[in-house]
């Protein structure tokens, strides 16, 4: 039996060992974790993090696409503390609400496009998407179409980590044989990645083929069975995939013709990452039936998610006045989380962070594009403060290095040693910094990342890999 710990202030080494001995992290890779443990983070301010040893890093990952207004803000802390003192918790089931929940719902309705005037508050992005998929089933049944409940998503998509949302998403590496997934009633289309389109096909032809694939699926399965289509405006952790021009608008038009609800998963793209509150209409000309959001909603200060949906959906569900919507969570509409969201939105508005994300984000992408001259870099892509570098063995064939090489992890490790955090995903190095980032900080990110890529390229060539 382990003796109880009596550590008033554990040392960095003790914290490392406590975590290694007891914590199961999301997406734990057991071998490396048991050997190497975790990097212990102790403090954050603005775009910077400090580890338990006092080393500083510029966090170009933005936590997990989420620290939009920056870390360590006293105004955020004060808003949260004030709400804790006033009302730390309130049940929001059935016919009870609280001030921050009501105000946030109204604010989200005002920010959302079109007639998306209704809001269901959840605990995060996964639960927002889970609710959206279930709402497709619910609404279609209310409309007299109980068989019209199949969901269409795309390859390389990520929509969450509940049983249902991980079944809807299909990102390489997420589907492991030890878990189980729902397959019935879920369909996946080709990822709209222009960089990986068939050889000899123009981007416009690729777009035509993607839309035709959707129409063929509807013809094969039946429009009477497909109830919803879900899409990240830009596929985030599936590869920062910016679709071809016109793609999302055309997919939305197909949905309208067949009465298929269009769900825009804006868990990453919402709240300023592309310089807009939401990207669907502002960037892609689409007014979806539902928007899921989280992450930047509170700038990561507290957990919260939301499903914003149209008046049309509300009216269909509420038509008879006797139905129950039996879905929700203990922490739905949590007053402290909602207070944090309201303050985060206020900061984004008052400090012009949408405009900063647009201006500095364009500068960031322009500077990163110059890395395409490096032998290991196949493509730099993304939009504004949502970007990645894709590493390849051959620029000509776009062939990646063998999976076991782990070049993106080696690049992120090299960058980390130089004071920069970037996120390795497959053969990508992904960046999504806070909206407060400056051009000087962008310069540091790009210059440091270039040094890390050059260092790893030299190592790979010494190991016998052919690069370029």
> Any long-range contacts for 413-419 (C-beta under 8 Å, 24+ apart)?
414/451, 414/452, 414/455, 414/456, 415/448, 415/449, 415/452, 416/39, 416/57, 418/448, 418/451, 418/452, 419/55, 419/56, 419/57, 419/58, 419/448
Give the per-residue pLDDT at 241.
Answer: 98
**CA dist list (Å): 55 to 32, 39, 50, 96, 441:** 22, 11, 5, 47, 17
Q: What is the pLDDT of residue 2?
A: 52
Structure-block tokens of residue 11: 């040392």
Nearest-angstrom CA–CA distance, 265 and 306 = 11
pLDDT score of 1 more than 90: no
CA end-to-end span of the chain? 56
- Give the angle subtended at the CA of 183 by the CAs of 180 and 186, to the nearest 5°: 135
Q: What is the per-residue pLDDT across 84-132, written as a single tens digit (0 to 9) for each?
A: 999 999 999 999 999 999 999 999 999 999 999 999 999 999 999 999 9
DSSP state of 244: P
> What would the DSSP string read from start to end of 123-134?
SSHHHHHHHHHH
Residue appearing with tokens 């990822």 = 191
Q: Which helix (H) or strand (E) holds 283?
A: helix 279-284
Strand order in the sheet with 48-51: 41-45, 48-51, 56-59, 420-421
Q: What is the mean pLDDT of the chain?
A: 97
pLDDT over threshold 60, residue 7: no
Quick: pLDDT tens for 220-235.
Answer: 999 999 999 999 999 9
pLDDT tier for residue 8 given thresholds of 50, 70 and 90: confident
The answer to whether residue 41 scores a pLDDT higher than 90 is yes
Residue 71: both structure tokens together: 């870390």
Per-residue DSSP letter, 71: B
Report DSSP state, residue 236: -
**If you average pLDDT over residues 382-397, what whole number do you get?**
98
């Amino acid at each position: 039996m382990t003796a109880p710990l009596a550590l008033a202030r554990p040392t960095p080494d003790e914290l490392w060992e406590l975590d290694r001995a007891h914590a199961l992290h999301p997406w734990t890779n057991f071998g490396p974790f048991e050997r190497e443990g975790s990097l212990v983070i102790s403090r954050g301010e603005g775009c910077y993090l400090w580890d338990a040893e006092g080393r500083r890093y510029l966090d170009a990952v933005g936590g997990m696409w989420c620290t939009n207004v920056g870390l360590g803000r006293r105004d955020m802390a004060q808003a949260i503390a004030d709400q804790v003192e006033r009302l730390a918790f309130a049940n929001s089931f059935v016919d009870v609400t609280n001030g921050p929940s009501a105000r946030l719902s109204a604010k989200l309705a005002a920010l959302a496009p079109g007639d998306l005037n209704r809001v269901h508050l959840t605990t995060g992005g996964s639960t927002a998407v889970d609710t959206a998929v279930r709402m497709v089933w619910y609404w279609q049944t209310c409309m007299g179409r109980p068989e019209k409940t199949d969901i269409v998503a795309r390859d390389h998509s990520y929509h969450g980590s509940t049983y249902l949302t991980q079944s809807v998403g299909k990102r390489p590496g997420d589907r492991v044989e030890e878990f189980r997934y729902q397959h019935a009633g879920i369909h996946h289309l080709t990822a709209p990645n222009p960089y990986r389109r068939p050889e000899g096909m123009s981007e416009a032809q690729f777009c035509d083929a993607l839309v035709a694939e959707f129409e063929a699926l509807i013809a094969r399965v039946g429009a009477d069975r497909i109830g919803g289509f879900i899409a990240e405006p830009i596929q985030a952790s599936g590869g920062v995939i910016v679709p071809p021009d016109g793609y999302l608008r055309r997919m939305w038009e197909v949905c309208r013709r067949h009465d298929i609800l269009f769900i825009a998963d804006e868990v990453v793209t919402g709240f300023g990452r592309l310089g807009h509150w939401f990207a669907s209409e502002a960037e892609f000309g689409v007014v979806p039936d539902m928007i899921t959001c989280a992450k930047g909603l509170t700038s990561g200060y507290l957990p919260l998610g939301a499903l914003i949906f149209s008046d049309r959906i509300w009216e269909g569900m509420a038509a008879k006045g006797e139905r129950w919507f039996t879905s929700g969570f203990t922490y739905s509409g949590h007053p402290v989380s909602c207070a944090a969201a309201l303050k985060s939105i206020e900061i984004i508005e008052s400090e012009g962070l949408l405009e900063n994300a647009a201006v500095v984000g364009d500068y960031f992408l322009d500077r990163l594009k110059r890395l395409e001259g490096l032998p290991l870099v196949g493509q730099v892509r993304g939009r504004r403060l949502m970007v990645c570098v894709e590493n390849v063995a051959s620029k000509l064939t776009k062939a990646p290095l063998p999976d076991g090489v782990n070049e993106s992890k080696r690049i992120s490790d090299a960058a980390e040693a130089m004071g920069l955090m970037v996120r390795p995903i497959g053969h990508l190095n992904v960046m999504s910094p806070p909206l407060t980032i400056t051009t000087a900080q962008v310069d540091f990110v790009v210059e440091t990342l270039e040094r890390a890529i050059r260092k790893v390229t030299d190592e790979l060539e010494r190991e016998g890999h052919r690069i370029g």
